[in-house]
Structure 1
Amino acid sequence: MSERMEAGAPVRPTRLATGSPRASIWRIRTPLDRRRYLTLAASSFAALLIAWWAITASGAVNPMFLPSPAGVIDALVAWYRDGTLLDDIGISVWRVSAGFALSAVMAVPLGLYVGAYQPVRALFEPIMEFARYLPAVAFVPLVLLWFGLGETAKIMLIWIGTFFQMVLMIAEDTSRVPMAQIEAARTLGASNREILNLVLLRSALPAMFDTLRMTLGFAWTYLVVAELIAANSGLGFAILRAQRFMQTDRIFVGIILIGLIGLVTDQTLRLLQKRLFPWRA
């Protein structure tokens, strides 16, 4: 073989080097077309569903601890027929949206200033780093004392669970803007306010959108905790009520609904992000 190579004979390429579909898929960070992505994503859900069905059909687990997929569907239908399902979904979506919106309105400008000005960072970052490790559940007695038993208490608990993380992540997004852009704006005579609004904010906005998507997931995780506070409706309340009566199938319905709603909102924000920032692709 060495003699053929020295003589300039062409080397027959292997299948892996020809750019075959398998090779292109498994190269590191190689883009995957939408059809294959959806196929793999659907396969993962199908595999999970099949494994769930197989375990329950085998009788190895008591249905009280792990209901079958058919039992969960029956519980969903019964929940819908009793007329409270849509109301529970609506109030939970409202609580998450209100708490998340309040966090975003406050965290985005504060995070922008923390990422832009070092004195502001020194003033706020240590406090935010300390506060983000405080469990939101520990604030339940204080929230009840300060805000009573109404909707405000539930919204504020979701705010506590998302605000501090959001500020730090927005600040990090802002600090990642290349210094060359700031220096170029200064060379053109831009003021600090212009650099803040026209350079830092616009450059960091796509990354900030990713941060908002991520922290929206945090908001959904704190929903059940928020609905512990003297709630009489909502998906979290329904899960806790089902626990008291050992209705495991309804617990599964509530958990799956929260996951599905979160997935739909996340994908909606992802599509909106592609429309707003097409150059990110």
Structure 2
Amino acid sequence: MGQIFSDLGGELVTLVISVLSALPYIAIYVAVIMLAYFIFHLVKRRLTPVHDYTSLKTVTFGDESAVVSNKVASVVSIVLIFVIWGSFTGSEWLPRFLHAPGPFVGEASFTYTVETEDGTRDDATVSVLVHPKGQKPEAPVVAPGDGLAKNDSLVVQSYRSTLLRWDANDEVTRKEGAKVVAVDGEPISRDNAVETKIGRVALTDKGTLNFAPATGMQMESIWLPAPESVWRRLISVSRDGYQNVTLSEHLSYSLFRVIVGFALGAMVGIPLGYAMGLSDWARGWFDPIVEFMRPVPPLALIPLVIIWAGIGEQGKIILLFLAALWIMAIGARSGVSGVNISKVHAAYSLGANKRQILRHVIIPNSLPEIFTAARVAMGVCWGTVVAAELVAAEKGVGKMIVAASKFQDTDIVLMGIILIGVIGFGIDMMMRWAEKYLVPWKGKG
């Protein structure tokens, strides 16, 4: 038990350090948001200096002037995300002054100090050539120089590292007791690497030198490709497909699974939620089941789904159905429970029966909660479709992402993620429009 707490404590410390290292970037992002907010309102105040009742209100919830999305803020937010993305990937679409410091590329050198067993020391220079990916230049030609330690040369690709057997051409070798004790005048040991202007030099357990060129703040394309790389890959996959399947097929299969799974979940979940909200017996019967299944992630059900329904389309749709079912049931139950009791009393006083109250009071007033639950459920279904398509799928965006990740095609992985987000956002906007059209009384008391 003590070992478990020790391991968890170590992981927690690592997580805290990672969060702290990200704080400067988060602070910059927040500062840009605040600056954009200040500039927008300053310009708006200068252009439209209105001081009527509506402009001076501070509480805008629950009436026709409820808070809505600011289109300018949305555009600035999206542009800022792409600028940050391009800045930390060295995008060609951005001017160079917006690029974050990139990796070191070019020729440079560092000096190491060799000490023999009798205490004699000598210096040698290592000429380093760091080249971008895709190039294979020759190593720099250097004169060996005089003394015990001879000059060396290295060729290394940016974001990579290489070993230097410094004693391969020296008069005194490691077998004879020679060792490197300093780099550029700074002491070096197995536990203490030296950070030079061009990179990091470390001493290995066997006494050789390991050189890793400075990476700067930009990310390598295998970790995060530039926006133009993702765009070019989108064009090529749209034209030629991926793994003998067109992009439209991948998207249509995923969209079909999500829509069918969500629709089945809504068809069962909404009546179940209404029953739980209207009947104490139904609530007592189903509430433990719903509350038990609600926190269970759909991914945990994959083994059971495979056993129950096999690896065909049925298994994937069942998984998405279960992802949407509990959310829709809770949304419908919450909508029924949240109906203002005064409206029910008013309907009874006007002579309405239970069927009329359900039709004209319960259902209309519960629709806002149901639409909110539907938007959440659709998002969960899109998040689950990748896992659902892991179950021996041959087509689908999730299948494409998983297959690309095995070959480290990060641009295709990112392209698939963006497509899922764009399609999910489009579906959410359609549901918002439907809610605005079908539930115009939302937020108006």
TM range, smaller chain:
0.7 to 0.9
Equivalent position to 1:68, from 210, 226, 238: 226
Change (3 A) 1:42 1:262: same
Equivalent position to 1:41, from 70, 74, 86: 74
Contact 1:161–1:218 (CA<8 Å) still a contact in 2? Answer: yes
Deviation at 1:218, TM superposition (A): 1.2
Structure of higher CA gyration radius: 2
1:53 match: 86
* Count of residues in Structure 1 that have an aligned counterpart in Structure 2: 263
Contact 1:113–1:120 (CA<8 Å) still a contact in 2? Answer: yes
Unaligned 5+ runs, structure 1: 1-14
Deviation at 1:66, TM superposition (A): 0.7
Contact 1:125–1:168 (CA<8 Å) still a contact in 2? Answer: no
Equivalent position to 1:82, from 229, 240, 244: 240
- Which moves more between the two structures, 190-199 or 257-266? 190-199
Contact 2:335–2:370 (CA<8 Å) still a contact in 1? Answer: yes
Contact 2:385–2:398 (CA<8 Å) still a contact in 1? Answer: yes
Unaligned 5+ runs, structure 2: 1-44, 91-99, 103-217
2:376 match: 214
Change (3 A) 1:26 1:121: same
2:136 match: none
Alignment of 1:133 onto 2:263: no
- Which moves more between the two structures, 230-239 or 74-83? 74-83
Structure-to-structure mapping, 1:213-232, within 5 angstroms: 213-232=375-394
Deviation at 1:211, TM superposition (A): 1.9
Deviation at 1:20, TM superposition (A): 5.3
Kindly provide the CA deviation profile for residues 251-271 of structure 1, in whole angstroms up to 9, marking residues without a partner as x. 000000000000011111111
The structure showing larger relative contact order (alpha-carbon pairs under 8 Å, at least 6 residues apart) is 1
Change (3 A) 1:207 1:25: farther
Structure showing the higher helix proportion among its residues: 1
Change (3 A) 1:270 1:190: same
Change (3 A) 1:147 1:267: same
Structure-to-structure mapping, 1:1-281, within 5 angstroms: 24=55, 27=58, 29=60, 31=65, 37-57=70-90, 58=100, 59=102, 60-83=218-241, 84-280=246-442
Name the CA distance, whole Å, in 2 between partners of 1:176 and 1:39: 34
Q: Which amino acid aligns with 2:227?
A: P
TM-score with structure 2 setting the length: 0.56
1:278 counterpart SS class: coil
1:56 counterpart SS class: coil
Structure showing the higher strand proportion among its residues: 2
Kindly provide the CA deviation profile for residues 26-58 of structure 1, in whole angstroms up to 9, marking residues without a partner as x. 945475897x81111010000000000000114
TM-score with structure 1 setting the length: 0.86
Change (3 A) 1:243 1:179: same
Kindly provide the CA deviation profile for residues 48-91 of structure 1, in whole angstroms up to 9, marking residues without a partner as x. 00000000114321110010001110111111111311111111
Q: Which amino acid aligns with 1:38?
A: K
Instruction: Among all aligned residue pairs of Structure 1 and Structure 2, give the percentage whose two residues are the same amino acid.
Output: 35
Contact 1:108–1:170 (CA<8 Å) still a contact in 2? Answer: yes
Deviation at 1:190, TM superposition (A): 3.4
2:88 counterpart SS class: helix
Kindly provide the CA deviation profile for residues 92-122 of structure 1, in whole angstroms up to 9, marking residues without a partner as x. 1000000000000001111011111222111
RMSD: 2.3
